Amino acid sequence: MNMQNGITLLLVFILIGVLVNYVFFQNETRKLFAETQSVEKQKLELNAEWARLQIEKSTLVSNNRIEQVAREQLGMKLPEDEQVLVIVR
Amino acid sequence: MRKSQHKQVNISLRIAIVMAFLLCCFVVVVVRAFSIQVRGAEFYQSQGEKRHVREVEIPVSRGSIYDRNGEPLALSTAMVSVGIVPGQLLDQFSKVEQLAEVLDLNADELKQIITSRKDRQFLFIKRRITPMLADQVKALNMKGVEFRTEFKRFYPAGETLANVVGFTDVEDVGQEGLERTYDNWLTGTSGKKTVVKDLLGQVVADIDIDELVQAKPGKDLHLSIDRRLQYAAYLGLKKAVYKFRATSGSAVVLDVKTGEILAMVNQPSFNPNGTKESNEGLRNRSVTDIYEPGSVMKPFAVVAALESAEYTPQSVVNTSPGEYEVDGFVIHDFRDYGELSLVDILVKSSNIGVAKLVLGLGKEHLWDVYHRFGFGQSSGSGFMGESAGYLPHHDRWRTADHAALSRGYNLSVTTLQMASAYSVFANQGRYRSPTFIKGNINEDKAIIDPMIASQLTDMLSHVVQDNDGHKAFIPNYSVAGKTGTARIAEKGGYSDNYMSSFVGFSPVSSPRLVVAVTINNPQGDAYYGGLVAAPVFAEIMKTGLRLLNVPADQMSRTLADSTVDAVPLMQEVGDVQ
């Protein structure tokens, strides 16, 4: 009888332990989930940023702009045909 | 005590009444519970899920398009589209005005839309705005305004490549060009997953670990196009089309060794990042528009002559007196050239010479040569909307047609076909279908004797060499090619408008690039292919050989033999550094 009572008591404690555990991990899951959500969102934002920077970069390196900068700001030009010499080795 | 006993009877009656009343209530509750739990279960369950369990779409972007060096040609960037639930906005018109102001919309129109479509669940009011502008809208904090992620296509190469790459519509579906041709490849599948949302609409948990429909982003496309060469070619063509006030023009640059299209440009073009005002520039004329090529076809007639073994490049044909009647039609030369070798027939572009060559051969043979070079068939590039051109079957040729075909009339070609056909000479007699995709190299097949191909290469290099001051000449490289100037056919005959073209390759010793240039209807005195198209060819070829680091094979001035000149030049270079 005493033995049985002991087992019952033990089971009650185990049950309480499991339930507390369950609640704890449920909460933990929620927290982690919220974190993945925000990381996902961050990923989307970074992706968008990357695409935006790609576009900005491609605008900056557009042949049109490079030609303009080379000609106007750096005073460069393509060599005339007469200025081209071939090095023979 | 007595008193209480007297009352007891009454109490039990009362208890009975109360019990009966409660029982009735209980029965009502049970019946109601039954109807909800059992009969209406499905309805209520789905209603409940609708409020908490949602399927959400996972948006994916369309694949990007890059050039052969990894430079972007088409990119998708995430934008925000603003939509409204009209029913929820009916009572906040003052905020609607603010909304209209931020989004640059007409407030009165917006209000009218809200009232007239108040039953609609959702409608877009402004699509694809920048995330920054979206933040301003979000700051208004309005109920009934929703945001969706959509992608906007951006084309960094702009008008230089517009009609080749094409564009997509507002739903991100390819409409023209390669965007349409490779739409399946580029399009991703947006995924779906079920999630639990709380009252505020925040996602609380994923229900399935696996997505309901897995999100598959679109695949990237790597083109064979070289963006730098494309730009140079576009500029060269545009200048010429402008200078000669031509209606349109096209140019194609092919890599001889692989059949890859390194550049393909057309005029007119359009700005793919703006609104399309007209349809004029949308076509990729290099593959969709056909024309009668004229003299650029003559080398293929010469191939037929050489294959018959009756002629060698040195065989002589008499073209006197500069007029020749075939079947009632008189063929003219520019002047009386007298006796011409096969080489000189091409150098002088003698109409009579080629006519005499092919009339001695069977019609079927000439047709077969043209057919082998790909005329009258789609080039196999796979471009959607590509034209196969037109080559009539030899059964239907009259003698006059036979002669006309030898000088490039009575058949139609595309600029791309012309470039592919000439690359056979440059590629030891082997034909290879052109491709737009980097590394997707088509098998080549031998279509003429390599010996004949090298003879033709030699003859075509004479065309540029022997004509003094030929506009296709480029310093330090040997060039082989042929001009064409064809009258444009119109109803009932030929007009006074011309199609000027030049097709050629370089360097002759080890050909690397084929360039075909076509300029439609140049105005003014200069309309000969040699004056209009050849300079464009030279400019594109020169840039192409420089960009690809192709070694020079015909040095006109080397450092060794002009040391005197070289010193100041070198110093000039030194100063810049």
ipTM of predicted complex: 0.73
- Residues 6+ positions from B214 with CB-CB distance below 8 Å: B189, B191
Residue B515 C-alpha, separation from nearest chain A C-alpha, in angstroms: 20
Contacts B205 to A, Cβ<8 Å: 29-30, 33
Range of the domain at B129: 56-222
**B295 & B377 share domain:** yes
| Strands B480-490 and B203-206, sheet pairing | unpaired
- The strand pair at B221-222 and B65-66 is best described as parallel
A85 to B557: CB separation less than 8 angstroms, yes or no: yes
d(CA A51, CA B6): 93
Residues B280 and B235 placed together within one structural domain of the fold: yes
Number of H helices, E strands in chain B: 19, 19
Crossing angle for the helix pair B351-359 and B399-406, nearest 10 degrees?
130
CB B454, CB B475: distance < 8 Å: no
Interval B443-447 mean pLDDT: 90
Instruction: Tell whether A41 is within 8 A of chain B (Cβ).
Output: no
**A55 closest CB neighbour out of B154, B227, B566:** B154
Q: Mean pLDDT throughout B379-396?
A: 90
pLDDT at B69 over 50: yes
Nearest to B155 by CA among B71, B239, B280: B71
Asked whether residue B44 is assigned to any structural domain, the reply reads no
Closest C-alpha among B442, B431, B201, B197 to residue B303: B431
In a domain, B426, yes or no: yes
Instruction: Please compute, for residue B18, the number of CA atoms within 13 A of its CA located in the half-sphere on the CB side.
Output: 6
Residue B237 and residue B213 share a domain = no
d(CA B390, CA B418): 13
What count of other Cβ atoms lies within 10 Å of the Cβ of residue B123?
Answer: 12
Residue from A50, A78, A86 whose CB has the most chain B CBs within 10 Å, to mutate:
A86
Q: Does residue B371 sit in the same domain as residue B249?
A: yes
Q: Is B444 helix (H, G, I), strand (E, B) or coil?
A: strand
Composition of chain A by helix, strand, coil, percent to 5? 80, 0, 15
Total domain count, chain B: 2
**What is d(CA B286, CA B265) in angstroms, rounded to the nearest whole number?**
7
List of E strands, B449-559: 480-490, 493-506, 513-520
Q: In Å, how far is A12's CA from the nearest CA of chain B?
A: 31
| B212 and B302 assigned to the same domain | no
Q: Which of B180, B198, B222 is the last residue of a domain?
A: B222
What pLDDT score was predicted for residue B575? 40
**Cβ-based neighbours of B227, under 8 Å, separated by 6 or more:** A63, B67, B69, B71, B73, B157, B161
- DSSP secondary structure letter of residue B516: E
Which residues of chain B have a CB within 8 Å of the CB of A41?
A: none
**Token pair 């409020």 in the structure block, residue:** B51
Residue B79 has pLDDT above 90, yes or no: no
User: Do B542 and B464 reside in the same domain of the chain?
Assistant: yes
For chain A, say whether B204 makes contact (Cβ under 8 Å): yes
Beta bridge partners of B325: B330
Contact with chain A for residue B220, Cβ under 8 A: no
* B112 shares contact with chain A (CB less than 8 Å): no
Does residue B5 form part of some domain?
Answer: no
Question: What pLDDT does B573 receive?
Answer: 43
B552 inside 8 A of chain A by CB: yes
In this structure, what token pair is assigned to residue B420? 């592919």
Radius of gyration of chain A (CA): 36
Share the mean pLDDT of chain B: 85
- State the CATH number of the domain containing residue B277: 3.40.710.10
Helix, coil or strand: residue B514: strand
- B214 and B235 housed in the same domain: no
pLDDT per residue over B353-379, tens digit each?
A: 999 999 888 889 999 999 999 999 998
**pLDDT band with cut points at 50, 70 and 90 for residue B195:** confident
Q: Which of B156, B560, B576 shows the shortest C-beta gap to A62?
A: B156
Domain shared by B141 and B240, yes or no: no
Any idea what DSSP says for residue B62?
P
Residue burial A21-31, b: 16+ Cβ < 10 Å; e: rest: eeeeeeeeeee
Cβ of B528: how many Cβ atoms within 10 Å? 17
Query: What are A60-89's pLDDT values in tens digits?
Result: 888 888 989 999 999 998 888 778 777 776
How close, in Å, is residue B205 to chain A by CA atoms?
Answer: 7
Shared domain for B279 and B198, answered yes or no, is: no
Dist CA B326 CA B342 (whole Å): 20
Backbone angles phi, psi at B154, to 5 degrees: -130, 135
Cα torsion B335, B336, B338, B342: sign: positive
**Token representation of residue B131:** 């995330």
> What is the 8-class DSSP label of residue B477?
B
Q: How many CB pairs under 8 A join A and B?
A: 69
CA angle B166, B170, B173 (to 5 degrees): 55
A 10 A CB-CB count for B494 gives 13
How would residue B50 be classed by pLDDT, with cut points 50, 70 and 90?
Answer: low
Residue B561 lies in a domain: no
Q: Do the beta carbons of residue B175 and residue B166 sit within 8 Å?
A: yes
B389 pLDDT above the threshold of 60 = yes
Query: pLDDT tens digit string along A20-30?
Result: 999 999 899 88
- Would you say residue B293 lies in a domain? yes
Element (H, E) at B10: helix B2-34
What does the pLDDT read at residue B572? 44
CA–CA gap between residue B139 and residue B78 (Å, rounded): 20
Closest CA to B60 of B219, B221, B205, B222: B219
Q: What is the pLDDT of residues B215-272, one digit of tens each?
A: 888 899 999 999 999 999 999 999 999 999 999 999 999 999 999 999 999 989 998 8
Does pLDDT of B433 surpass 60? yes
Residues B218, B231 share a domain: no
Distance from CA of A10 to the nearest CA of B (A): 34
Predicted local distance difference test score (pLDDT) of residue B557: 65
pLDDT-based confidence at B568, cuts 50/70/90?
Answer: very low
CB B186 within 8 A of CB B179: yes
B452 within domain boundaries: yes
- Which of B152, B154, B549 best probes binding to A when mutated, by most A CB atoms within 10 angstroms? B154
Whether B184 and B258 map to the same domain: the answer is no
Q: Is the pLDDT of residue B576 over 60?
A: no
Of B222, B248, B278, the last residue of a domain is B222
Q: What percent of chain B has pLDDT over 70?
A: 91
Mutate to test the interface with A, among B557, B561, B564 (most CBs of A within 10 A): B557
Tokens for B96?
Answer: 């609607």
Looking up tokens 């080039």, which residue turns up?
Answer: B379
Same domain, B449 and B329: yes
SS3 B374: coil
Calculate mean pLDDT across residues B76-97: 81
State the Cα–Cα distance between residues B190 and B196, nearest whole angstrom. Answer: 19
Question: Given an 8 Å threshold on Cβ–Cβ distance, is A85 in contact with B576?
Answer: no
The verdict on residue B374 lying in a domain is yes
Task: Give B115-150 pLDDT, tens digit per residue.
Answer: 888 777 788 888 888 877 888 888 887 777 888 888
Q: Looking at the complex, report in whole angstroms how far the Cα of residue A18 sits from the nearest Cα belonging to chain B.
A: 22
DSSP secondary structure letter of residue B395: G
Backbone angles phi, psi at B51, to 5 degrees: -80, -20
B70-108: burial string, b at 16+ Cβ within 10 Å, e else: ebbbbbbbbbbbbbbbbeebeebeebbebbbebbebeee
Domain of B217, CATH number, reads 3.90.1310.10
d(CA B376, CA B363): 16
Higher model confidence: residue B277 or residue B371?
Answer: B371
- Whether the CB of A47 is below 8 Å from some CB of chain B: the reply is yes
The nearest alpha carbon in chain B to A78 belongs to B543
User: How far is it, in rounded angstroms, from Cα B344 to Cα B323?
Assistant: 17
Are A55 and B75 in contact (CB < 8 Å)?
yes
For A86, the closest of B131, B157, B476 (CB atoms) is: B476
Task: Note whether A62 contacts B: Cβ–Cβ < 8 A.
Answer: yes
Of B177, B205, B222, the last residue of a domain is B222
Q: Between residues 37 and 76 of chain B, which touch chain A (CB distance below 8 Å)?
A: 61, 71-72, 75-76
Q: How many CB atoms lie within 10 A of CB B375?
A: 26
B243 vs B247, B527, B535, CA distance in Å? 11, 12, 12
Stretch B512-520: mean pLDDT: 95
* Rounded Cα gap, residues B57 and B55, in angstroms: 7
pLDDT value at residue B571: 41
Report if residue B167 sits inside a domain: yes
User: Rounded to whole angstroms, what are the CA distances from B526 to B242, B469, B500?
Assistant: 13, 16, 10
| Phi and psi at residue B381, to the nearest 5° | -70, -20
As to burial, measured by CB atoms within 10 angstroms (0-12 exposed, 13-18 middle, 19+ buried), residue B261 is buried
Res. B447 pLDDT band, cuts 50 70 90: very high
B20 has a chain A CB within 8 A of its CB: no
Residue among B77, B558, B559 minimizing CB distance to A55: B77
* Residue B295 annotated as catalytic: yes
Tell me the helix, strand and coil percentages in chain B, rounded to 5: 40, 25, 35
Ranking A16-20, B81-85, B337-341 by mean pLDDT, the lowest is: B81-85
